[in-house]
Amino acid sequence: MDMNFKALTALVISGGTLLASCNNNTAPKEESKDSTATAATAGPRSFGQADGQEVLQYTLKNANGMEVKILNYGGTITDIITPDKQGQKGNVVLSYESLDGYQQKGQPYFGALVGRYANRIANAKFTLDGKEYKLAANNNGNTLHGGLKGFDKVVWTATPAGDSSLQLVYTSKDGEEGYPGNLQATVVYTLTPDNALQISYKATTDKATPINLTNHAYFNLSAGKDSTILGHELSLKASKYTPVNDKLIPTDKLDPVKGTPMDFNTAKKVGADIGKVNGGYDHNWVLDKKDGELETIATLYDPTSGRFMEVATTQPGIQFYTGNFLDGTLTGTRGGQKYVKNGALCLETQHFPDSPNQPSFPSVILKPGETFAQTTVYKFSVK
């Protein structure tokens, strides 16, 4: 693995110390009008209001000029600005001009933190310790991405730490969206000196609950130059995936990818075999890695711009989704771009879908006294 995780860990630990001493209430609310102002003096930008609270956009920067912009609304990544091989900077994630875009009906989770349970739970219910819990059926009779008002649609408490780190905290009440237990979730975004965006998630609860947290960024490494990602080259270190029924619920089998369109062990163009997959890719791959260890498990390359992204995670699975439901109709998009089918792709590091109902899958139950933790890193370069 080529990421320097010792350096990363040191940075995150020092970030934690900074977080403790930083008071969000005193942060300036407007971006400085003085373009020569340093990052340290530029505060978050006002981005509207949600649930009677101010929505702010925070900017993380590093010495290479890479920037990541994040909202306290949904912990949403609005911008990941990286250079192409010519040094021209561009935003590699799909985004909207304003908060209205993020709040429109059917908004497909652009850049958001997804929880309390990312992905699907079959028939919008599960049984835990002999008790049945009912959830919102917001996707073909199943629950998707936390229900009607998941973690993507709430305002988090944001605390920046210097230029390069932002901590977000959200307390989800016992019974919220049908889930048991008061759950405190903390997510820290850190932009490292070597152009990696680390997302570290932690959560605790006072009653046993299922949990699955991820980020739903839609990547298009051409930064708006190519309308689709079909020419991007993807690799996934996974020899198995979880096949699904017609409602995208895993069947409980782990099928080998060898000899199928699902095989990305050697990098290939996303468009190479997509026509052979009904509806496009929207599946969970079972990662070939040791559980809980941070390992690089995916790479994505856009030959035209030269942008290269490596994904490392501690999670056992990844949902690779090729924007099959994008159809060019979303409004308020950045620069008025049409986000067409396959206009971007998601690499959502996660536990397997429907795990609360699938005893053979790794457990997703968090108990009182335990801490849920997941770390995912998206690292950018050119070649």
Residues that bind ligand GLA (CB under 6 A): 108-109, 119, 144, 248, 282, 319, 321, 325, 346, 348
Identify whether 351 is a catalytic site residue.
Answer: no
Distance CA 282, CA 316 (A): 17
**For ligand GLA, which residue has the nearest CB?**
108
- Residues 124, 134 contacting (CB under 8 angstroms): yes
Torsion of CA 365, 368, 369, 375, to 10 degrees: 40
Shortest distance (Å) from residue 43 CB to ligand GLA: 32
- The residue annotated as part of the active site, out of 145, 216, 232, 283, is 216
Identify whether 283 is a catalytic site residue.
Answer: no
Shortest distance (Å) from residue 108 CB to ligand GLA: 3
- Grouping H, G, I as helix, E, B as strand and the rest as coil, residue 98 is coil
Shortest distance (Å) from residue 338 CB to ligand GLA: 17
Of 294 and 318, the one with the shorter C-beta distance to ligand GLA is 318
Tell me the helices (H) and strands (E) count for the chain, helix number first.
2, 27
Distance CA 366, CA 369 (A): 9
Distance CA 143, CA 135 (A): 7
The strand pairing partners of 307, in sequence order, are 382
Of 162 and 280, the one with the shorter C-beta distance to ligand GLA is 280
DSSP category for residue 118 = -
Shortest distance (Å) from residue 55 CB to ligand GLA: 21
The strand pairing partners of 26, in sequence order, are none
Of 321 and 339, the one with the shorter C-beta distance to ligand GLA is 321
Shortest distance (Å) from residue 104 CB to ligand GLA: 13
Of 151 and 321, the one with the shorter C-beta distance to ligand GLA is 321
Cα 64 to Cα 67, 73, 200, 345: the distances in Å are 9, 27, 22, 26
- Residues 200, 138 contacting (CB under 8 angstroms): no
Of 331 and 371, the one with the shorter C-beta distance to ligand GLA is 331
List, by residue number, the catalytic residues: 216, 348
